[in-house]
């Protein structure tokens, strides 16, 4: 997600944020700048701890971290067609892949890695980085809009099915087959996202007024929320809470909307015997006889809670996370700041801003000094590309558990790791066995 800083603090080359992203379980935040990229931990409200920072790749515009592991994927404006995969704690490059056009977005879970170009989507097996599928028959997708379920047991993929309407193609990234198409909106899609289990899919169109939630994999509409009626907005972020009870949407306005996923029609308490209650019942009864568009609008649920920013017109992304055992609303903005709000799941209403962190100046100085004094590690290298490779099947450049092959060195077939390679400790996932280049005759195309 690209975002240009408008009023960030001075800081030379680092002052402009080019991108920012939360990891899959909203425990970490990654930012890209002109100078490189940084990773932050979101375990505390009071302080923002920098986990890692790198200036080796300048002008980063995509950076994605796999959960809380040491695997990070980076794309730079200097080589916009090349994806680089790193183990940042070992200081090694796991692999790099090159594509036929600029990379627009990357999504990953513990089973699949998704690379989205304007007219193609590449699906890699994240355990060995082998290219499994190339989806070519997609409409022009200039923003790289796509979604991948973080639940690796299903690995559902969603992407636009039309350049002019809000059709969504639901694809099974495990079986590598199209599941169904969903007629989600009349207008062009602006945002799509899965919940944590991959059982729900939310979407918004470029109008930004209505947000819909569909069941997966059958594509049936479950919920419909109205973000607003007065003005069209650009939805920049759409995300479920980890427990799938809430859905959060941020846009280029000053308001972040939080919707509660519950059907209120059967659980609403009896209205009091007042004129307002009486008129409410009359409107609900009349909706059965009104045109479908009007009836749908009257039955759409409004926001359960809101978070109010002190600015508008800037790109931002939102997240719903539990920090220090309490639910929080997080908003990262292109102005170089992270905003943390308290979220009351019982009362809703307006969320209270409790902390603001600078994403440019934050970080642990001791860690930076330690990195400066640390001797440089040999960099592993895998000359792997998404196009057919001329490398032999028996020996290919790749990544090994002992820190990686030297640049240009070839790892013999019998030295390939036979078991999972642990990224940091016994709790980390996924295993990285080897990074192979695509071989002729094995690349699958739609």
Angle of CA points 206, 16, 356, to nearest 5°: 80
pLDDT computed for residue 131 by the predictor: 95
Strand 79-87 to 349-350 pairing: unpaired
Per-position DSSP letters for 45-75, written without gaps between them: SS--EEEEEE-SS-SEEEEEE-TTSSEEEEE
How far is the C-alpha of 267 from the C-alpha of 30, rounded, in Å?
A: 40
Return the number of other C-beta atoms located less than 10 Å from residue 175's C-beta: 10
pLDDT computed for residue 229 by the predictor: 59
Please provide the distance, in angstroms rounded to a whole number, between the alpha carbons at the two ends of the chain. 27
How far is the C-alpha of 247 from the C-alpha of 408, rounded, in Å?
A: 47
* E strand or H helix at 122: strand 121-125
Contact between 446 and 135 (Cβ < 8 Å): yes
pLDDT computed for residue 231 by the predictor: 63
How far is the C-alpha of 423 from the C-alpha of 404, rounded, in Å?
A: 12
Contact between 321 and 330 (Cβ < 8 Å): yes
CA of 208: how far to CAs of 164, 247, 250, in Å? 15, 14, 10
pLDDT computed for residue 285 by the predictor: 52
DSSP state of 301: B
Q: Provide CATH code, domain 17-264+273-358.
A: 2.130.10.10
Q: What are phi and psi of 146, to 5 degrees?
A: -165, 165
Tens of pLDDT, residue by residue, the chain (446 residues): 334 333 333 333 344 789 999 999 999 999 999 999 999 999 999 999 999 999 999 999 999 999 999 999 999 999 999 999 999 999 999 999 999 999 999 999 999 999 999 999 999 999 889 999 999 989 999 999 999 999 988 899 999 999 999 999 999 999 999 999 999 999 999 999 999 999 999 999 998 889 999 999 999 999 999 986 556 788 999 999 999 999 999 998 999 999 999 865 443 334 444 454 454 455 445 544 544 444 344 345 678 999 999 998 889 999 999 999 999 999 999 999 999 999 988 888 999 999 999 998 754 433 333 333 333 333 332 323 343 333 333 223 333 222 332 333 332 333 233 333 344 433 454 444 444 343 333 334 44
Buried b (16+ CB within 10 A) or exposed e, 70-104: bbbbbbbeeebebbbbbbbebbbbbbbbebeeebb
283 three-state secondary structure: helix
């Amino acid at each position: 997600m690209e975002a240009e800083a408008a009023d960030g603090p001075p800081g030379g080359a680092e002052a402009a944020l080019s991108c920012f992203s939360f990891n899959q379980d909203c425990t970490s935040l990654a930012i890209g700048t002109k100078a490189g990229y940084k990773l932050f931990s979101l375990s505390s409200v009071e302080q923002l701890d920098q986990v890692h920072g790198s200036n080796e790749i300048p002008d980063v515009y995509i950076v994605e971290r796999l959960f809380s592991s040491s695997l990070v994927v980076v794309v730079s404006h200097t080589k916009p067609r090349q994806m680089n995969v790193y183990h940042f704690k070992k200081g090694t490059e796991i692999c790099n892949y090159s594509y036929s056009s600029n990379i627009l977005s990357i999504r990953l879970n513990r089973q699949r890695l998704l690379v989205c170009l304007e007219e193609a989507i590449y699906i890699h097996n994240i355990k060995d980085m082998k290219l499994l599928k190339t989806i070519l028959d997609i409409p022009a997708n200039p923003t790289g809009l796509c979604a991948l379920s973080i639940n690796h047991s299903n690995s559902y993929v969603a992407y636009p099915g039309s350049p002019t309407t809000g059709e969504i193609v639901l694809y099974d990234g495990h079986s590598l087959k199209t599941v169904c198409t969903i007629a989600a909106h009349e207008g062009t899609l602006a945002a799509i996202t899965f919940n944590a289990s991959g059982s729900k899919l939310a979407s918004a169109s470029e109008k930004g007024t209505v947000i819909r939630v569909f069941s997966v994999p059958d594509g049936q509409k479950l919920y419909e929320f109205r973000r607003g009626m007065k003005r069209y907005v650009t939805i920049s972020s759409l995300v479920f809470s980890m427990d799938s009870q809430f859905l959060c949407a941020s846009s280029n306005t000053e308001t972040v909307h939080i919707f509660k996923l519950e059907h209120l029609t059967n659980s609403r308490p009896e209205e009091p015997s007042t004129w307002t209650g009486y008129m409410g019942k009359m409107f609900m009864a009349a909706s059965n006889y009104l045109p479908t568009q009007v009836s749908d609008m009257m039955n759409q649920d409004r926001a359960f809670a809101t978070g109010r920013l002190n600015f508008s017109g800037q790109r931002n992304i939102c997240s719903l996370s539990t920090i220090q055992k309490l639910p929080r609303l997080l908003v990262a903005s292109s102005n170089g700041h992270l905003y943390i709000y308290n979220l009351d799941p019982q009362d809703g209403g307006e969320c209270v801003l409790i902390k603001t962190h600078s994403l440019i100046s934050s970080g642990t100085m001791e860690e930076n000094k330690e990195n400066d004094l640390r001797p440089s590690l040999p960099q592993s290298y895998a000359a792997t590309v998404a196009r057919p490779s001329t490398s032999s099947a028996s020996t290919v450049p790749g990544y090994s558990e002992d820190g990686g092959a030297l640049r240009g060195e070839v790892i013999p077939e019998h030295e390939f790791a036979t078991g999972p390679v642990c990224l940091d400790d016994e709790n980390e996932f996924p295993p990285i066995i080897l990074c192979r280049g695509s071989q002729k005759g094995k690349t699958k195309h739609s």
